[in-house]
Amino acid sequence: MKVILKKEVAHLGEADEVVEVKPGYALNYLIPQGIATMATKSALKQHEETLRQRAHKEAKLVEEAEALAAKIAETPLTVAVKVSESGKIYGSVTSAQLAEALAAQGINVDKKDITILSETVKEAGEYEAAVKCYKAIKGALKFTVVPEE
Protein backbone atom coordinates (compact mmCIF):
# COMPACT_ATOMS: atom_id res chain seq x y z
CA MET A 1 0.00 0.00 0.00
CA LYS A 2 1.37 3.42 -0.93
CA VAL A 3 1.21 6.30 1.56
CA ILE A 4 2.43 9.90 1.61
CA LEU A 5 4.44 10.64 4.74
CA LYS A 6 3.59 13.84 6.62
CA LYS A 7 6.46 13.46 9.09
CA GLU A 8 9.85 11.76 9.06
CA VAL A 9 9.70 8.11 10.12
CA ALA A 10 12.89 6.27 11.08
CA HIS A 11 13.85 3.51 8.63
CA LEU A 12 10.95 4.44 6.35
CA GLY A 13 11.44 7.90 4.87
CA GLU A 14 11.40 11.68 5.11
CA ALA A 15 8.38 13.96 5.18
CA ASP A 16 6.62 14.36 1.80
CA GLU A 17 7.93 11.05 0.44
CA VAL A 18 5.66 8.48 -1.16
CA VAL A 19 6.55 5.06 0.27
CA GLU A 20 5.25 1.51 0.02
CA VAL A 21 4.28 -0.12 3.34
CA LYS A 22 2.25 -3.10 4.47
CA PRO A 23 -1.50 -2.39 4.66
CA GLY A 24 -1.73 -3.20 8.38
CA TYR A 25 1.07 -0.78 9.25
CA ALA A 26 -0.57 1.99 7.25
CA LEU A 27 -4.16 1.43 8.40
CA ASN A 28 -3.43 0.66 12.06
CA TYR A 29 -0.57 3.04 12.83
CA LEU A 30 0.56 5.57 10.23
CA ILE A 31 -2.82 6.96 9.13
CA PRO A 32 -4.55 7.05 12.57
CA GLN A 33 -1.50 8.74 14.14
CA GLY A 34 -1.54 11.44 11.43
CA ILE A 35 1.91 10.45 10.22
CA ALA A 36 0.76 9.58 6.69
CA THR A 37 -2.16 9.74 4.28
CA MET A 38 -3.25 7.22 1.68
CA ALA A 39 -1.69 7.78 -1.73
CA THR A 40 -4.81 7.93 -3.89
CA LYS A 41 -4.68 9.43 -7.38
CA SER A 42 -6.13 12.74 -6.19
CA ALA A 43 -3.85 12.84 -3.12
CA LEU A 44 -0.79 12.20 -5.30
CA LYS A 45 -1.85 14.94 -7.73
CA GLN A 46 -2.33 17.40 -4.88
CA HIS A 47 1.00 16.30 -3.35
CA GLU A 48 2.85 16.95 -6.63
CA GLU A 49 1.27 20.42 -6.90
CA THR A 50 2.25 21.23 -3.32
CA LEU A 51 5.85 20.14 -3.97
CA ARG A 52 5.98 22.22 -7.16
CA GLN A 53 4.71 25.33 -5.35
CA ARG A 54 7.13 24.75 -2.48
CA ALA A 55 10.04 24.44 -4.93
CA HIS A 56 9.00 27.74 -6.56
CA LYS A 57 8.89 29.49 -3.16
CA GLU A 58 12.22 27.95 -2.18
CA ALA A 59 13.84 29.22 -5.39
CA LYS A 60 12.53 32.72 -4.69
CA LEU A 61 13.84 32.65 -1.10
CA VAL A 62 17.26 31.45 -2.27
CA GLU A 63 17.40 34.24 -4.87
CA GLU A 64 16.54 36.87 -2.25
CA ALA A 65 19.10 35.43 0.19
CA GLU A 66 21.84 35.51 -2.44
CA ALA A 67 21.02 39.15 -3.22
CA LEU A 68 21.16 39.96 0.51
CA ALA A 69 24.51 38.16 0.85
CA ALA A 70 25.93 40.17 -2.07
CA LYS A 71 24.62 43.42 -0.56
CA ILE A 72 26.21 42.57 2.81
CA ALA A 73 29.55 41.78 1.14
CA GLU A 74 29.53 45.16 -0.65
CA THR A 75 28.59 47.20 2.42
CA PRO A 76 31.52 48.84 4.22
CA LEU A 77 30.83 48.73 7.94
CA THR A 78 32.50 50.78 10.65
CA VAL A 79 31.90 50.26 14.36
CA ALA A 80 33.01 53.05 16.72
CA VAL A 81 33.86 51.93 20.26
CA LYS A 82 35.56 53.36 23.32
CA VAL A 83 39.27 52.58 23.32
CA SER A 84 41.87 52.88 26.07
CA GLU A 85 45.13 54.76 25.61
CA SER A 86 46.93 51.51 24.84
CA GLY A 87 44.52 50.82 21.95
CA LYS A 88 42.48 48.11 23.68
CA ILE A 89 38.69 48.16 23.47
CA TYR A 90 36.63 48.45 26.63
CA GLY A 91 34.65 45.23 26.42
CA SER A 92 34.31 43.68 22.97
CA VAL A 93 32.45 44.12 19.69
CA THR A 94 29.40 41.85 19.64
CA SER A 95 27.05 40.56 16.98
CA ALA A 96 24.36 42.87 18.42
CA GLN A 97 26.53 45.90 17.66
CA LEU A 98 27.10 44.62 14.13
CA ALA A 99 23.35 44.07 13.66
CA GLU A 100 22.70 47.67 14.77
CA ALA A 101 25.36 48.99 12.38
CA LEU A 102 23.85 46.99 9.52
CA ALA A 103 20.37 48.28 10.40
CA ALA A 104 21.75 51.83 10.16
CA GLN A 105 22.88 50.92 6.62
CA GLY A 106 19.37 49.68 5.78
CA ILE A 107 20.07 45.95 6.08
CA ASN A 108 17.96 44.20 8.71
CA VAL A 109 19.62 41.06 10.07
CA ASP A 110 19.00 39.25 13.35
CA LYS A 111 21.97 39.31 15.73
CA LYS A 112 21.68 35.52 16.10
CA ASP A 113 22.53 35.12 12.42
CA ILE A 114 25.88 36.95 12.73
CA THR A 115 29.00 34.98 13.62
CA ILE A 116 32.24 36.86 14.24
CA LEU A 117 35.02 34.77 12.69
CA SER A 118 37.86 35.86 14.97
CA GLU A 119 37.72 34.67 18.57
CA THR A 120 37.33 38.11 20.15
CA VAL A 121 37.47 41.67 18.91
CA LYS A 122 39.57 43.46 21.54
CA GLU A 123 41.52 45.98 19.44
CA ALA A 124 40.83 48.49 16.69
CA GLY A 125 41.32 47.09 13.20
CA GLU A 126 39.64 45.11 10.43
CA TYR A 127 37.72 41.92 11.10
CA GLU A 128 35.37 39.51 9.35
CA ALA A 129 32.04 37.98 10.22
CA ALA A 130 29.64 35.58 8.52
CA VAL A 131 25.96 36.47 8.22
CA LYS A 132 23.49 33.62 7.72
CA CYS A 133 20.98 34.76 5.12
CA TYR A 134 19.05 31.53 4.48
CA LYS A 135 19.88 27.90 5.23
CA ALA A 136 23.38 27.38 3.76
CA ILE A 137 23.67 30.85 2.17
CA LYS A 138 26.02 33.12 4.10
CA GLY A 139 27.28 36.59 3.41
CA ALA A 140 30.83 37.67 4.22
CA LEU A 141 30.81 40.83 6.31
CA LYS A 142 33.98 42.88 6.66
CA PHE A 143 33.92 45.48 9.39
CA THR A 144 36.35 47.99 10.79
CA VAL A 145 36.60 48.84 14.47
CA VAL A 146 37.65 52.44 15.09
CA PRO A 147 38.12 54.50 18.25
CA GLU A 148 35.09 56.57 19.29
CA GLU A 149 35.68 60.30 19.14
Each residue's pLDDT tens digit, 108-146: 999 999 999 988 888 889 999 999 999 889 999 999 999
Radius of gyration of the chain from its Cα atoms, rounded to whole angstroms: 24
Per-residue pLDDT reduced to its tens digit, 49-79? 999 999 999 999 999 999 999 999 999 999 9
113-to-64, 71, 137 alpha-carbon distances in Å: 16, 16, 11
Other CB atoms closer than 10 Å to residue 135's CB: what's the count? Answer: 10
Helix (H) or strand (E) holding 97: helix 95-104
Q: Which CATH number fits domain 66-147: 3.40.50.10860, 3.40.640.10, 3.40.50.12780, 3.10.430.100?
A: 3.10.430.100
b/e burial code for range 25-35 (CB count within 10 A of at least 16 → b): ebeeebbeeeb
Amino acid at 114: I
Mean pLDDT of 86-110: 92
Given a cut of 80, is residue 19 above it in pLDDT?
A: yes
Confidence band for 16, pLDDT divided at 50, 70 and 90 = very high
At 121 the pLDDT is 87
Domains 2-60 and 66-147 agree in fold: no
Q: What is the distance between the alpha carbons of residues 149 and 143, in angstroms, rounded to a whole number?
A: 18
Which pLDDT band, with edges at 50, 70 and 90, does 80 fall under? very high
Which pLDDT score, from 0 to 100, does residue 11 have?
93
**Domain spans of the chain, in order of start:** 2-60, 66-147
Domain 2-60 of CATH type 3.40.5.10? yes
Q: Is the pLDDT of residue 23 over 90?
A: yes
pLDDT band at 149 (very low <50, low <70, confident <90, very high): confident
